[in-house]
Chains A and B, each alone.
Chain A
Amino acid sequence: MTEGAAIPLEPTPDVPPCAETPEGYQVRLDVFEGPLDLLLFLIRKKKIDIHDIPIAAITRDYLDYLDHKTKINLDREAEFLFVAALLIYIKSQMLLPRETDLAEHEDPRLVLVNRLLEYQKIKAACSLLREREDGQILQWKRNFIPSLHGESELEPVELSLFDLAESFFLMMKRRSADETRVIRGRDVSIEVKMKELVGLLRERHMIDFLEYFEANASLEEALVSFFCILELVKSRVAVAVQDELFQTIRVWLRKDAHRMDHHE
């Protein structure tokens, strides 16, 4: 499928695709997806039989294209040069004298031909898939429809435990800067805190992570609450969501996790 490539040079078929650009004379290699695309284009343009490619001629044409290029993109260049090297290698193999005539499967061009044929198929499939895409893109299906609520403009990200931990340390730093004196309070057990948290989540449906911590009286208590939330997220009882980086984290119960017997 070299249609896209062929269009820009239809008027002057013998001239390589090129254009005056602000940077100067530049070959439009960018219209080609890659070196195989360029080769297929050349083969098509010269009406060459893909199974019997005149390697010398095609190599000359191919290198002509590369020569006219002024803008260098190393990655792309390497891919184009690799195929140039392959062409020259094939030619050299063909020039080597042999004692007997080459059997067909020994044709050094075969490696290239097979690659080109496979690529050509993929390109043709692409044009068919593109047609499908164009048709499908106009049909909205429920799974692709974003909800109408303004809130959803921010796509919530489900957080990993690491994100949670980071938020926690951020919070602790903020706390220590508050010059609060720590008054030794009661001991808080994870079991008690867990119950409290789950109860709170059920009651309010959603809690604000930072707000909740600020409300904790002591460092120990904050620490215990934090472990509880980690545990709840880990056991997939609760979900923690952050709208944007550095914003507060909201925690709520998973809809499908009302069986929390082991936490109660």
Chain B
Amino acid sequence: MNSPIKNIVESLIFVSQEPLTLERIQAVLEGVPAADIQAAVDELVADTATDGRGVQVVHVGGGWLFSTKPAFDREIRRLLQIERKNRLSSAGLETLAAIAYRQPVTQAEISGIRGVDSTSSLKTLLEKSLIKIVGRKKAPGSPLVYRTSDEFLLYLGLNSLDELPSEEEIAKILQEEKAADA
């Protein structure tokens, strides 16, 4: 192999439209030890994170992907003629959070947590592919069961559900709120 692994890996990530996992890179580069690939990817991430670049390699969704630097969002939107990217509504985000933390979960359970009917939020989240239906619960009426999707991880820049804000982080937020009130 003449060219350094790093350059090959960079080209693989470039053509990949979804997060390119270590396993897939390994399958392409037969015989190259995982540690070498990992080192090459780490180097790529570090290289592209510097100010001299417009795009960067990011670790997201369990793999690596090219993404643009946040600073150039305005110019990109001008190119694509997109006025603005819509954020989720607060109802949508709340529903998504309830699913993320309590999955697998049914509509009734989500609505119970929120105290509000969540049917329409679920529909929006399904349309955005941020959640998916994974089956039916063995309960009266066999309600549909929801989970977050791979797109959800990408959307929030997470690698796995383990990277969701932890109990401690949440407790910290609550404590800060309490302190602000006092």
Q: Which residues from B are CB-within-8-Å of A139?
A: 58, 67-70, 73, 157
Is A169 at the interface (CB under 8 A from chain B)? Answer: no
Main secondary structure of the interface of A (DSSP, over half): helix
Q: Which residues from B are CB-within-8-Å of A123?
A: 94
**A75 close to B65 (CB less than 8 A):** no
Instruction: List B56-85 residues whose CB lies under 8 Å from chain A.
Output: 58, 60, 65-71, 73, 76, 79-80, 85
**B156 close to A136 (CB less than 8 A):** yes
Mark contacts of A110-145 with chain B using CB atoms, 8 A cut-off: 1 yes-contact digit, 0 otherwise. Answer: 000001001111111111111011111111111101
Mark contacts of A77-117 with chain B using CB atoms, 8 A cut-off: 1 yes-contact digit, 0 otherwise. Answer: 00100110000000000000000000000000000000100
Is B181 at the interface (CB under 8 A from chain A)? Answer: yes
Interface size on B, residues (CB 8 A): 48
Main secondary structure of the interface of B (DSSP, over half): helix
Is A156 at the interface (CB under 8 A from chain B)? Answer: no
**A141 close to B66 (CB less than 8 A):** yes
- Which of B17, B18, B66, B170 touches A128 (beta carbons < 8 Å)? B170
- Assuming A121-B170, A128-B173, is B65 touching A142 (CB within 8 A)? yes
Is A4 at the interface (CB under 8 A from chain B)? Answer: yes
- A121 — nearest CB in chain B belongs to which residue? B170
- B90 — nearest CB in chain A belongs to which residue? A33
- Assuming A138-B73, A140-B76, A141-B65, is B165 touching A128 (CB within 8 A)? yes
- Assuming A135-B70, A142-B17, is B115 touching A79 (CB within 8 A)? yes
- Which of A120, A133, A146 touches B87 (beta carbons < 8 Å)? A133
**B165 close to A34 (CB less than 8 A):** no
Q: Which residues from A are CB-within-8-Å of B94?
A: 33, 122-123, 126
Is B39 at the interface (CB under 8 A from chain A)? Answer: no
Is B177 at the interface (CB under 8 A from chain A)? Answer: yes
The contact size tier of chain A is 35 or more
Is A202 at the interface (CB under 8 A from chain B)? Answer: no
Interface centre among A44, A79, A142 (most CB of B within 10 A): A142
Is B164 at the interface (CB under 8 A from chain A)? Answer: yes
Interface residues of B (CB under 8 A from A): 16-18, 58, 60, 65-71, 73, 76, 79-80, 85, 87-88, 90-91, 93-94, 96-98, 100-101, 112-117, 154-158, 164-165, 169-170, 173-174, 177, 181-182
Going nearest first, the 6 A-B pairs with the smallest beta carbon separation are A34-B116, A138-B70, A36-B115, A128-B165, A124-B173, A138-B73
Q: List 22 A–B pairs whose Cβ atoms lie within 8 Å, in order of A's numbering.
A: A3-B177, A34-B116, A79-B117, A115-B112, A119-B113, A119-B115, A121-B101, A122-B101, A125-B170, A126-B94, A129-B100, A129-B164, A130-B93, A133-B88, A133-B155, A136-B156, A139-B68, A139-B73, A140-B76, A141-B58, A141-B60, A141-B68
